[in-house]
Amino acid sequence: MPERRPSTDPSSQRVRIRRQFNDPMVAECPTSALQDFCWDVISGGVKARAPQWFLFAFVDCTEVIGDIAHSCQHGSAPHSIKVCVVKIDNDPETYAALAEKAGPRPPSKRSCGDDALALVAEHGAMRGPDLRKKLERREHSRYRISVVLPELERRGRLISTVGPRRAKTYRLPNDRA
């Protein structure tokens, strides 16, 4: 009698899911229960922002096996919830098959540091408040900006001088003051 192997058909397997990419609560669901795959940076539930594109899909909450960050407070079950399929949680072949359903992964967005350097290169010396405003318009958080600008100064990638009204002016090291 031939040895019986587990099915390699992705639709008959289970996949590990979370509500956010870094959520410690990990549950499972049948891969066949997942639908509407997409790449996104906004999670389901609390709509947390991720630092990069992750694979998301929708599943009926009654198909979830185990605990996941979902309470059914917004209506009676079953209803569709957005879940994150994290690569490291799942079998590589299963993940690849599911990721293919979402289409090509979008390009990563530029980092806050890269955007800051590009803006100063493009505009020349910039006042700190103006640089911060432009970075916020590019969807970088105030917190991230407050961490990145001093780090760029510390590494010598940006030079700052204190101008009128105690506002810093940023320039690249190769620009004349």
For residue 8, what pLDDT is reported? Answer: 52
Q: Lowest-confidence range among 36-50, 70-84, 117-131?
A: 70-84
Q: Are residues 81 and 33 in the same domain?
A: yes
* pLDDT, greater one: 105 or 44: 105
Q: Among 80, 102, 124, where does a domain finish?
A: 102
Q: 98 and 85 in contact (C-beta within 8 Å)?
A: yes
pLDDT band per the 50, 70, 90 thresholds, residue 176:
low
Within a domain: 47: yes
For residue 107, what pLDDT is reported? Answer: 86
Q: Lowest-confidence range among 43-52, 67-76, 118-127?
A: 67-76
Span 26-47, average pLDDT: 92
What is the tally of structural domains in the chain? 2
43 vs 21: CA distance, rounded Å:
8
171 vs 177: CA distance, rounded Å:
8
Within a domain: 3: no
Within a domain: 130: yes
* pLDDT, greater one: 94 or 7: 94
Q: Are residues 124 and 78 in the same domain?
A: no
Within a domain: 140: yes
Span 139-150, average pLDDT: 92
Domain containing residue 27: 10-102
Average of per-residue pLDDT values in the chain: 87
Within a domain: 88: yes
Give, to the nearest 10 degrees, the angle between helix 128-137 and helix 142-154. Answer: 130
- Kindly tell me if the per-residue pLDDT of 35 is higher than 90: yes
pLDDT band per the 50, 70, 90 thresholds, residue 43:
confident
- Kindly tell me if the per-residue pLDDT of 47 is higher than 90: no
Angle subtended at Cα 57 by Cα 51 and Cα 62, rounded to the nearest 5 degrees: 125
Q: Among 61-65, 70-74, 90-94, which range has the highest average pLDDT? A: 90-94
Q: Among 51, 73, 102, where does a domain finish?
A: 102
* pLDDT, greater one: 26 or 107: 26
Q: Are residues 118 and 91 in the same domain?
A: no
For residue 12, what pLDDT is reported? Answer: 64
- Kindly tell me if the per-residue pLDDT of 114 is higher than 60: yes
